[in-house]
Structure 1
Amino acid sequence: MSNSVNLDDIIISKRALHLSENSSLDEMADALQVQQRGVWPLYDDNAKGLEQVQVKTFHYAQCNVKVQFNPARIKSSAAKVDNKSIKERKCFLCTDALPPKQKGIPFNDEYLVLVNPYPIFPRHLTIPRLEHAPQFIEPYFRDMLELSRALKSYTVFYNGPKCGASAPDHMHFQAGNKGFLPVETEYSKLKATTDRKLFSNEHLEIFAVSNYLRKFIAIESDEMTLLQTAFEWLYELLEQRGQEPEPMLNILSGYENGKWRVLVFPRDKHRPDQYFAEGDENILLSPASVDFGGVCITPQEKDFKMIKAADLIDIFAQVSVTDSYFDELCAAYAKRVVE
């Protein structure tokens, strides 16, 4: 964080948000978005644009996938995240780079809850750490769980540095209102019908889903420390692949009725071949947590109009792990949990 910036000038009070002192982070986040629309034209324009966004839905045997035409997301989808490009640009999540109109809410004296000025969700937040530290989930997974509990009406998500994060040099989470992603409404059926129940007791449940276009492992628990340990075991297994700077993954986390639910999507690839193709074969779609949750973002109108159900099957097959690796991972994880 730059010494030239006074954090007090960025933080907005509950009083300024017209809230009582006992208001929750949930309530503050909602009020912040209303306040920011009133004072920040860029955010207001993009929020208005989101209200008019075009969406179409593809129906598969296992799930539904929505495709959103959102031109404001071109900055994120086309972001250059190679080391050279990162070093040559200023970090837009550091406090000294925030627009003058942008205000935030502190969380645990380590994070700043901000509106996302290029929203995908009707309520979309970006939550960077105050310090400039690399995007790396292992030291901060517990923070994700604490955020999920504090933002009960939101799903908190993490994009790995090579899995959709447009700022891989600055640790941050994002959050969007619950119920927006198809995986959330389809989750109960997936859990009930899966044949991959890896572990279950009174305080911890783990199961895997492979027949869903994209593969994931779900971890549920009412005990934060137990869930954190279960995630660390999975992370250690993923580390064996030798991917750098960390295992490729996307994570969705939510808290409801006294219990956390964490979905981990292991990855094989950052961007599909279509992203780099030329001519009619090109599709500017860079899958991240939201896409794995069932809402694919296309910032170009041509892609929105031309994309087909078969394209999504192929794209997810490329960026997801293989069937054989997922089988091995599930077997190793089930063994590790019961040891």
Structure 2
Amino acid sequence: MLNKSFSKNISEFFKAQMGEWELAAGNFRQLENVKTRHLLFSGFEVLIQFNPERLKSTAAKTDSDSIQARPCFLCEKNRPPQQRGMPFDDQFTVLVNPYPIFRRHLTIVSRNHVEQRIMNSFGSMLSIAGALPDYVVFYNGPQCGASAPDHLHFQAVSRGYMPLEKDYESQQFTHRILSGPGYGILNWTGYLRGIITLEGREKKTLESLFESVYESLQPGPVSQPGTEPEPEPGTVSQPEPGGQSRNSEAEPMMNILVYRTGGTLTVHIFPRKQHRPRQFYASGRDKITISPASVDLGGLVITPREEDFHKVTENDIADIFRQVCLQEEELYMIINELK
């Protein structure tokens, strides 16, 4: 009953914000005009969305100098007066995201200005997903799509729009590698990007499984700030000017999607090895402004430039995913450690 009540309150809160915050309402209305393309692969598809309002987020500078030079837009004192918040618990506040990707798009921010870290906040992420069964909750790690890596936050978007959801349900690409009472660990093959999936009914069990995955990724790929100067595929990104951001130290690069179906929570973990692909830093016809984050890896790739929307191909997407994600063969040793 608590979850149903909270979901209803969120729906009412969202409608109220649409009636009192014209900037956000206008951007949500613009989603009706968003263009989408379908790229077909072997048994699955990747959607390409042209969304010019996402340029600021896609191209955000996240090096330490740039972060320190701007006020944190997630802190309450710096938020627009029209942007009201709804408390989730004593640690987080739910906000409407004024630059949406989906028709329902929330940002759940820590009430304290603390760095974007998942290890001590994964339990909170599970609780949020449990309370919002109509949403996918996601975490973008530092240098993995988080445009505010200095302030802990999650985002939540409407269920049913990311192709990964139905691809997971199809069981065509997943293989169960470990099962126990009320939980399972699965890996993916033939899907362009390496994914570890956890499923379970008990929050504590999932927290323990996640800790094992997290530890297995250490001291592997670690977030590095990046305006990487056209790195070669498979290389780790280099620091941006200004040195390594404090919030990226020691956390393995990853994106995470979580959602609840009935009494089961499903967690999709995308281990990363690079912030942005070389195409992001290219010039002329070779430039493609795609900076993959959780939604992109979920199968909905955002292109804020219309020329990229029209020209990007299946080969481009496969190459970009190869550069920024650990591949299934690279996850083999990690997965074996979990057995």
2-structure distance, mates of 1:22, 1:275: 41
Verify the 8 A CA contact 1:64 1:182 in the aligned structure 2: yes
Aligned CA-pair RMSD: 1.4
Structure 1 match to 2:85:
104
Structure 2 match to 1:4:
none
- Displacement of 1:193 in angstroms is 5.2
Q: 2:122 aligns with which of 132, 141, 146?
A: 141
Corresponding position: 1:120 with 2:101: yes
Q: 1:308 aligns with which of 313, 316, 320?
A: 313
Structure 1 residues 1-339: aligned runs within 5 Å = 24-190=5-171, 194=174, 196-241=175-220, 243-244=222-223, 245=249, 246-334=251-339
SS across alignment from 1:270: coil
Greater shift in the superposed pair: 26-35 or 71-80:
26-35
Residues 166-222 of structure 1 deviation map (CA, whole Å, 9 limit, x = unaligned): 0000000000011111101111223x553x422012311111003111110110111
Q: Say if 1:327 and 1:251 are closer, same or farther in 2 by CA, change over 3 A.
A: same
Verify the 8 A CA contact 2:173 2:191 in the aligned structure 1: no
Which sections of structure 2, spanning at least 5 residues, go unmatched?
A: 224-248
Verify the 8 A CA contact 2:35 2:50 in the aligned structure 1: yes
Residues 122-167 of structure 1 deviation map (CA, whole Å, 9 limit, x = unaligned): 1000001000000000000000000011111111000001100000
- Displacement of 1:28 in angstroms is 1.8
Query: Taking structure 2 as the reference length, what is the TM-score of the superposition?
Result: 0.89
- Displacement of 1:324 in angstroms is 3.7
2-structure distance, mates of 1:113, 1:290: 19
Give the aligned residue type for 1:163: C
2-structure distance, mates of 1:240, 1:130: 30
Verify the 8 A CA contact 2:3 2:130 in the aligned structure 1: no
1-structure distance, mates of 2:289, 2:173: 34
More helix by share: 1
2-structure distance, mates of 1:111, 1:236: 26
2-structure distance, mates of 1:271, 1:165: 12
- Displacement of 1:62 in angstroms is 3.4
Give the aligned residue type for 2:148: A
Structure 1 match to 2:230:
none
- Displacement of 1:325 in angstroms is 2.2
Structure 2 match to 1:3:
none
Give the aligned residue type for 1:32: F
2-structure distance, mates of 1:147, 1:176: 12
- Displacement of 1:23 in angstroms is 6.3
Verify the 8 A CA contact 2:46 2:163 in the aligned structure 1: yes
Verify the 8 A CA contact 1:24 1:150 in the aligned structure 2: no
Residues 91-142 of structure 1 deviation map (CA, whole Å, 9 limit, x = unaligned): 0000001101111110111111001000001100000100000000000000
1-structure distance, mates of 2:200, 2:221: 28
Query: Taking structure 1 as the reference length, what is the TM-score of the superposition?
Result: 0.89
Verify the 8 A CA contact 1:62 1:211 in the aligned structure 2: no
Verify the 8 A CA contact 2:110 2:153 in the aligned structure 1: yes
Identity %: 43
2-structure distance, mates of 1:333, 1:319: 23
Greater shift in the superposed pair: 320-329 or 171-180:
320-329
Structure 1 runs (4+) deviating above 4 angstroms are none
Verify the 8 A CA contact 1:30 1:123 in the aligned structure 2: no
SS across alignment from 1:255: strand
Q: Say if 1:22 and 1:265 are closer, same or farther in 2 by CA, change over 3 A.
A: closer
2-structure distance, mates of 1:30, 1:277: 42
Q: Say if 1:193 and 1:163 are closer, same or farther in 2 by CA, change over 3 A.
A: closer
Q: Say if 1:228 and 1:22 are closer, same or farther in 2 by CA, change over 3 A.
A: closer
Verify the 8 A CA contact 1:206 1:218 in the aligned structure 2: yes
Verify the 8 A CA contact 2:20 2:82 in the aligned structure 1: yes
Give the aligned residue type for 1:333: L
